[in-house]
Amino acid sequence: MTKKTFTVPNISCGHCTHAIETELGELAGVQSVKAEQETKQVTVAWDDPASWEKIQALLQEINYPPEGLIQIS
């Protein structure tokens, strides 16, 4: 399993975090998603067939592009 934590500057409310968690959670292979309004950070854990490229593309599509990569594990 791969796990990344990153910043999404467009997070401004609970709806934002819910949209990110719902959309990414529906992506095949994504195991968990946690978005935090206060820190604007998102942590995603996934296995194949999901990939960082697919996660980034989906976030761009829903207008929550990731910015700073904080942690990769």
Q: Per the confidence metrics, is the pTM higher than 0.75?
A: yes
* In 1-73, beta strands by DSSP E: 2-7, 30-36, 41-46, 69-72
The pLDDT assigned to 68 comes to: 74
Q: How is residue 56 written in tokens?
A: 């980034």
When divided into structural domains, the chain yields a total of: 1
Residue 58 CA to residue 73 CA, distance in Å, equals: 21
Q: Give residue-wise pLDDT tens across range 3-61.
A: 999 999 999 999 999 999 999 999 999 999 999 999 999 999 999 999 999 999 999 99
The pLDDT assigned to 66 comes to: 94
**CATH number, domain at 23?**
3.30.70.100
Domain span at residue 61 reads 2-72
| Phi, psi angle pair for 44, to nearest 5° | -125, 135
The pLDDT assigned to 71 comes to: 60
